[in-house]
Amino acid sequence: MALKPAGESTSVERHLVLAGTSYRLVQLRGPALAPLVPLFRETYHRKDFTLGWIQKKYACEVAGVRAFSCVALDEAGRAAASCGVLPWPIRFGGQFELAAQLVDVATDQRHRRRGLFAGLEEWARELCDSAGVSFLFAFPHPEGESYPGFTRSLGYEHIDDLVEYRLAIRTLWLERVARRLGPLHGLYERNLWETLRAYLPGNAVLENSLLSEGFAATDRTPEFHAYKAFAGSRVLAVNGGRVWLKVRRGMLLGDLEPHAEEAMDRTIRVLAQLAHRLGIHQVLIQASPTTRLAHCFAERFRAFPCLTVVYRNLRSRIPAAKLRFSSGDLDNF
């Protein structure tokens, strides 16, 4: 089941009236995603969202199903709410299924508590169902506004949790400072990737370690890794084994090759040294507490509660109890 770039932009729509306000619900792809830029900037209080970045995030396709966003436009044509859908290839032994991750669940504060999220999710679910998607999943924060919407209003099951394991690095916080100061950002990025270039492996495809543990998990094909590079993730070869990581507000690990305890210790030492050299203040990974990754990092890093995993079955034959995810499955990794 291959993940590949999506095609040109399309738009499908319907209408909804809530609390006396008329909304136009549109299914957007490609350049038509432009209304999401101000919505995301206002909702997430970040100025670094651009149309180019959003287009890359939604530029994927699995088994003929292309990523899209269901967006509610108000009477002035502004984006009032969104619910994004990313197609995901899932493998369980020799069994493959198409899943969909719900992302970018955002509602402008002027349009909250009107049922927009429920309306957009229902439409997104219908579109996924008609496309043959097996199940839906998402990673809401347990204290966030979307979690009760998923579990109480929309019938999603809370099937697992992700725990964040952090290792603080004593260093000058160059990475954080550079991202806040525009002129330094480009200089830091060039130095970062010039340094990491020496660690690029011959084989840049790292298979999901959860599959080797007998879990159902994302099938990380070459096409999957090529798509994920939009957010800056890379596979590196370090002493101890290959690592899939991203540098953004720390060194975030997506996965590591299965290897012995001694090799794991060497890998962590190398990553900590590399973080110190690059002025990165922490190394972190998110993983289900029942996995080998979590066991390895729980003994070495500090643990913090993080995200939940919620799930809704459409036609899946893979047991939900077998599903596991990690940092690499987050939509912005």
Whole-number pLDDT of residue 12: 67
CA 255 – CA 139 distance, rounded (Å): 17
Q: Indicate the pLDDT class of residue 262, thresholds 50, 70 and 90.
A: confident
pLDDT of 258 > 90? The answer is no
Can you give the length of the chain in residues? 333
Whole-number pLDDT of residue 3: 58
Alpha helix (H) residue ranges in 100-141: 116-130
Cβ–Cβ < 8 Å for 310, 170:
no
- Same domain? For 115 and 14 the reply is yes
End-to-end CA separation in angstroms for the chain: 21
Q: Indicate the pLDDT class of residue 86, thresholds 50, 70 and 90.
A: very high
- Same domain? For 89 and 35 the reply is yes
Identify whether 140 is part of a domain: no
Cβ–Cβ < 8 Å for 210, 160:
no
Last residue of a domain, one of 133, 151, 174: 133
Residue with tokens 């990475």: 175
Query: From the CB of residue 194, how many other CB atoms can be counted at a distance below 10 Å?
Result: 9
- Give 264-311 pLDDT, tens digit per residue: 889 999 999 999 999 999 999 999 999 999 998 998 899 999 999 999
Which of the 8 DSSP states describes residue 216? B
Residue of 13 and 210 predicted with greater confidence: 210
Identify whether 156 is part of a domain: no
Whole-number pLDDT of residue 9: 43
- The radius of gyration of the chain from alpha carbons, rounded to an integer in Å, stands at 20
Identify whether 147 is part of a domain: no
Residue of 261 and 68 predicted with greater confidence: 68
Residues linked to residue 238 through DSSP beta bridges, in sequence order: 241
- Same domain? For 93 and 16 the reply is yes
CATH number at residue 16: 3.40.630.30
- Same domain? For 175 and 323 the reply is yes
Residue of 1 and 194 predicted with greater confidence: 194
Whole-number pLDDT of residue 214: 96
pLDDT of 2 > 60? The answer is no
Positive or negative torsion for Cα 209, 214, 216, 221: positive
- Give 14-55 pLDDT, tens digit per residue: 888 888 889 999 999 999 999 999 999 999 888 778 999 999
Q: What pTM, to 2 d.p., does this model score?
A: 0.92
- Same domain? For 218 and 125 the reply is no
Please give the full DSSP string across 255-301, using - where no structure is assigned: EE----HHHHHHHHHHHHHHHHHHT--EEEEEE-TTSHHHHHHHTTS
Identify whether 139 is part of a domain: no
Identify whether 83 is part of a domain: yes
- Same domain? For 41 and 113 the reply is yes
Smallest CA-to-CA distance from 300 within 276, 265, 326, 327 is with: 265
- Count structural domains, the chain: 2
Whole-number pLDDT of residue 250: 95
Identify whether 124 is part of a domain: yes
Residue with tokens 């893979």: 318
Query: What's the rounded mean pLDDT across residues 193-219?
Result: 94
- Same domain? For 111 and 72 the reply is yes
Identify whether 320 is part of a domain: yes
99-103, 112-116, 129-133, 307-311: range with lowest mean pLDDT: 112-116
Which of the 8 DSSP states describes residue 325? -
- Same domain? For 197 and 321 the reply is yes
* Residue-averaged pLDDT of the chain: 92
- Same domain? For 319 and 198 the reply is yes
- Same domain? For 184 and 325 the reply is yes
Identify whether 17 is part of a domain: yes
- Same domain? For 181 and 105 the reply is no
- Same domain? For 294 and 167 the reply is yes
The whole domain housing 53 covers 3-133
Query: What's the rounded mean pLDDT across residues 80-101?
Result: 97
CATH number at residue 254: 3.40.630
